[in-house]
Structure 1
Amino acid sequence: MFLEILSFELKYRIKRPATWAYFLLLFLFGWLIAANGGNGSGSEKAFANSAYEVTSFMMIISIFATMIASAVMGVPVYRDIEHGVKDYFFSYPVREKSYLLGRYVGSFLTLMLISTGLIFGMIVGYKMGPVLGWEEAERFGPLRLQDYWHGAITFLWPNLLFTGTIFFCLVALTRKIFIAYVGSVVFFIAYLVSLTLASDLESKDLVALLDPFGFSAWNELTKYWTPVEQNTLHQSLTGNLLLNRLLWPGVAMLLLLFTLFRFDFARFLGGARAKVKKLRESAET
């Protein structure tokens, strides 16, 4: 049943205009910034599309994409409440874990698909910048697909996994979609505030570990790179960066396991009345 629910979720999402609207939004954002010379995080002597710049760009966008993650990951289980499909699910042998995992995996794969809009936008933008005359051709180096692949695997997708899992679990546990939307705003603001407060901490190792998006750990490894190194090198997954990249996706998986354990099919789809009925049945027995 897991595969059936996963397949349904993917087919449903592919047909939804919202999926492609988010894809287009990230594409245009990536294209616009890249065509104008990138986000300027690297050295002025390094290429505008250096490996360093590409990774930095993806990391920053993964933070702002928190809003998109909340919309994509918070919707699937709430949709069943909104459409009143409890009778359908209760009529078939659908297991709670299969149902929840099918919705979760399908939604996250959709989120990954949407995020590729950013990658394609960056690639096209870096190529069109000189053509449009927005940047000099000398500012751009050759296209290196491994830079985008590495940035996505190391930062973009793990960060979306972390934030997306939080919002999915919040809705699954509370039955309230607005919590995901409000939570994304609160999370975003809290993260920006935490960056300011973290600068006062003496332990840089602690700062590197506590940053859920990995920016502090990455900066620790790359802040002294020369322009040549920024053009070609990828940060190695060692030390604090490795621990960080294992820690926060791990936290997300623990939260998902907790949600799977706590999830009650009847209460979730049936609401308060189902919960009262269940309590009465327990009392009678």
Structure 2
Amino acid sequence: MFKEIFLFEIKYRLKRPATWAYFGILFIFGLIIAIGGNGPASEKVFVNSPVAIATMLSTVSIFGIMIASAIMGVPVYRDIEHKTENYYFTYPITEKGYILGRFFGSLSSLFLISLGLHLGLIIGFIIGPYAGYEEPERFTSFNFLHYLQPTIMLYWSNFFFAGCIFFSLVSLTKRVMLAYAGGAILFITYLITLTLTQDIDNKTLVSLIDPFGFGTYNNIIEYWTPEEQNTQMVPFKGMLVWNR
């Protein structure tokens, strides 16, 4: 029954207007940033360099906490609200199959929504050289790996981390408002913590304790030259592995 619940959750999400609204918001945001060349790259670094793409994905994944709370916080509560949770167990289904089906179905939907940013960035970087907001020379050619690696290493792993928190929170407490409130609290707390840790001299400690890896990633690329930022992806080794 895991498969049936998993597929049901995905089909349910695909029919919800909110799913495509979240996707559209990320798409438009990525499109505007890419066309205007408003990313984190310096003047000597390509607008769509591997470091710039990874930085944008990492940053948006932090703001994506709110989307994760909206998607991952409601699957189990939805059955409680409609008083259908007990009916599921009159069928040959285990609690484990029920919970995992809801979880992975919602997580897959969350990952699908998150790809709106990628689509916006890719299309925006194609239009960018012709839009006139940035010199065409500041754009480099498309490289799929420049999107894939940071997506798995930073972007999706952060969505997974936040999603686990909100799904567990509502499943254990049966209170959906804790997901929405928890999303805001986690987001604000992390921003405050990120500001406070900037004054800590022990970079190793900061890199280890950062739950979203933003500080870890920045500590790695802090002294990279423009040439390195234009050509190299952050290697998945050392402190970043321990953080993840």
Task: Place the TM-score, normalised by the shorter chain, in its bin.
Answer: over 0.9
Q: Which residue number corresponds to residue 251 of structure 1?
A: none
Give the 3 Å change call, closer, same or farther, for CA 87–217 of structure 1 in structure 2. closer
Q: Which residue number corresponds to residue 30 of structure 1?
A: 30
Deviation sequence 1:95-137 (CA, Å, 0-9, x none)? 1111111000000000000011100100011111232222221
Q: Which residue number corresponds to residue 159 of structure 1?
A: 158
Q: Which residue number corresponds to residue 100 of structure 1?
A: 99
Q: Which residue number corresponds to residue 61 of structure 2?
A: 62
Q: Which residue number corresponds to residue 187 of structure 2?
A: 188
Question: How much has 1:52 moved relative to structure 2?
Answer: 0.5
**Mapped partners of 1:2, 1:140: distance in 2:** 45
Deviation sequence 1:40-81 (CA, Å, 0-9, x none)? x23310100000000000000000011000000011111111
**Mapped partners of 1:85, 1:111: distance in 2:** 24
Q: Which residue number corresponds to residue 88 of structure 1?
A: 87
Question: What one-letter code is carried by the residue in structure 1 that aligns with 2:8?
Answer: F
| Matched ranges for 1:139-154 at <5 A | 139-154=138-153
Q: Which residue number corresponds to residue 7 of structure 1?
A: 7
Q: Which residue number corresponds to residue 282 of structure 1?
A: none
List alignment gaps of at least 5 residues for structure 1. 246-285
Deviation sequence 1:176-201 (CA, Å, 0-9, x none)? 11110011111011001101221232
Give TM-score scaled by structure 2 length.
0.96
Pair 1:138-2:133 in alignment: no
Question: What one-letter code is carried by the residue in structure 2 that aligns with 1:3?
Answer: K
Q: Tell me, yes or no, if the aligned pair for 1:38 and 1:53 is still in contact at 8 Å.
A: no
Q: Tell me, yes or no, if the aligned pair for 1:80 and 1:86 is still in contact at 8 Å.
A: yes
Pair 1:16-2:16 in alignment: yes
Question: What one-letter code is carried by the residue in structure 2 that aligns with 1:37?
Answer: G
Deviates more, 1:125-134 or 1:174-183: 125-134
List alignment gaps of at least 5 residues for structure 2. none
- Secondary structure (helix, strand or coil) at the match of 2:38 reads coil
Root-mean-square deviation (CA), in Å?
A: 1.2
Deviation sequence 1:190-218 (CA, Å, 0-9, x none)? 00110122123232111101111111111
User: Which has the higher Rg, Structure 1 or Structure 2?
Assistant: 1
Query: How many percent of aligned residue pairs carry the same amino acid?
Result: 51
Give the 3 Å change call, closer, same or farther, for CA 133–55 of structure 1 in structure 2. same
Q: Which residue number corresponds to residue 43 of structure 2?
A: 44
